[in-house]
Amino acid sequence: MNLIEKILETNIINLTIVLVVLISVVGNALSQSLASRKETILMNLAEADKKANEAQEKLRLAKIDFENAKAKADELKKQNQEQAQNEKKKLLAFTESEIESLKKKKQEILELSYGQQKKELIAKISNSALLLVKKRCNFDSSTSEKIANFYLNLWTAS
């Protein structure tokens, strides 16, 4: 073998040794770096999953709260409508009662007024009739005294 072949062979061996050392040193560092990076990525994914699950849970709870609030609002609306209907019925009944009361009072007032007018009319007719009788019979104060005494005597005699 000649010298060039020996140098070439030595260079190949040296190159192989350098490559092996380089690969083992750099490979370990690269492998550790990749493992570290992989671990970081896996931790980030786990954290993202955890946050997504928390967000899903919060969303689920928010939906439940929304449904509860909606049901409560519907219940309050229904109660308010029922209360308004009851109040309306009470007011209508009260109004009807007041109308009936006013009608009765009106009728009583009319009957009272009619009675008073009737009494006044009877009194006027009676007075007119008495005046007419006095005029036609030429009654004076002594005549009415005689009639009164006559009726007193009849009454005491019986």
Query: What are the pLDDT digits (tens) for 105-128?
Result: 999 999 999 989 988 888 888 888
Please count the other Cβ atoms lying within 10 Å of the Cβ belonging to residue 134: 13
Give 141's pLDDT tier (boundaries 50, 70, 90).
low
What percent of the chain is predicted at pLDDT more than 90?
51
pLDDT value of position 70: 97
Range of the domain at 75: 3-117
Dihedral sign computed on CA atoms, order 123, 124, 129, 131: positive
Q: Is residue 151 part of a domain?
A: no
User: How many domains, in total, are found in the chain?
Assistant: 1
How far apart (Å, rounded) are the C-alpha atoms in residues 114 and 106?
Answer: 12
Q: Is residue 75 part of a domain?
A: yes
Q: Is residue 158 part of a domain?
A: no
- pTM comes to 0.45
Q: Is residue 144 part of a domain?
A: no
For the record, the structure tokens of 117 come out as 């007018």
Q: Is residue 56 part of a domain?
A: yes
Return the beta strands (E) in 19-136 as ranges.
none
Give 1's pLDDT tier (boundaries 50, 70, 90).
low
Q: Is residue 83 part of a domain?
A: yes
Q: Is residue 148 part of a domain?
A: no
Lowest mean per-residue pLDDT among 53-62, 78-87, 117-126: 117-126
